[in-house]
Amino acid sequence: MDLNVWLAFFAASWVIAVSPGSGAVLSMSHGLAYGVRRAGATIVGLELGLSVILLIAGVGVGALLLASSTAFLVVKVLGAAYLIWLGWKQWRAPSGAAQLPGPDAAGSAPAGDAHGLPSVRERLLTGFMTNVTNPKGIVFMVAVLPQFIDPARALWLQLLILLLTSVGVDVLVMHGYAFLASRAKAWLATARARRAQNRVFGGVLMAMGASLLVVKRAAT
């Protein structure tokens, strides 16, 4: 892969990652609720989901999903339903003091207070499902990746470079979102403020889920 092509994709990766989306909302929500360190498991899940989406688009399965109305509809409905369920769960989350343990100097929740904290596996799965069931990701990757792939060169090596670049940038951005949210904990110390936070993040996730239902397939 030529350096100028990689630099163009590197710049595009930052624009994609910084753009608000369900992954950013989830990172902020978990960063605020559990601290940056514990939100790391969620972010790992997000990156695994992003990797699957990129590889699917890269090997052409994404194009097949876009070509099949039934397959695309299934992915779209599953993605929308999952985000709406996740948003409703956040909306209904308890706002008691035990739910949001305060972060330590490193930005993570105290190790001794895990009451109501989802397991690492649950946080990882939540992140993974949030990205992997997002048809917008497939549409975007199918549209973007071909511009950076040279058919005359080895596909697997190009995909590996693009994957490492995209995931590396996204990890930094998602941790940034989680960190900024965790710093806001001092202004969200009351149950009323935490309830408002749950409603905001839950509402945004549900709105994003509903928006997936209007995503259209690329013209064939």
pLDDT tens per residue across span 104-150: 434 444 443 445 678 889 999 999 998 888 776 777 777 677 777 77
Name all contacts of 99-104 with Cβ < 8 Å and 24+ positions apart.
Answer: 99/33, 99/194, 100/32, 100/33, 100/185, 100/188, 100/194, 101/34, 101/35, 102/185, 103/35, 103/36, 103/182, 103/185, 104/35
- Phi-psi domain of 116 (left: phi exceeds 0; alpha: psi -120 through 50; beta: other): left
Token couple for 19: 């753009």
| Residue 34: closest CA among 95, 104, 103, 120 | 103
Token pair 């001794």: residue? 112
Instruction: Report the C-alpha gap between 8 and 164 in whole angstroms.
Output: 15
Token couple for 8: 């163009």
Cβ 107 vs Cβ 185: under 8 Å: no
Token pair 């997000």: residue? 46
Token couple for 197: 């936070």
pLDDT (0 to 100) of residue 118: 83
Instruction: Report the C-alpha gap between 75 and 56 in whole angstroms.
Output: 13
If DSSP codes are grouped into helix, strand and coil, which group holds residue 105? coil
pLDDT (0 to 100) of residue 171: 94
pLDDT (0 to 100) of residue 186: 60
pLDDT (0 to 100) of residue 219: 54
Q: Identify residue 136 by its one-letter amino acid code.
A: K
pLDDT (0 to 100) of residue 200: 76
Residues of the chain with pLDDT under 50: 97-114
pLDDT (0 to 100) of residue 113: 42
Instruction: Report the C-alpha gap between 65 and 70 in whole angstroms.
Output: 8
Termini Cα distance of the chain: 29
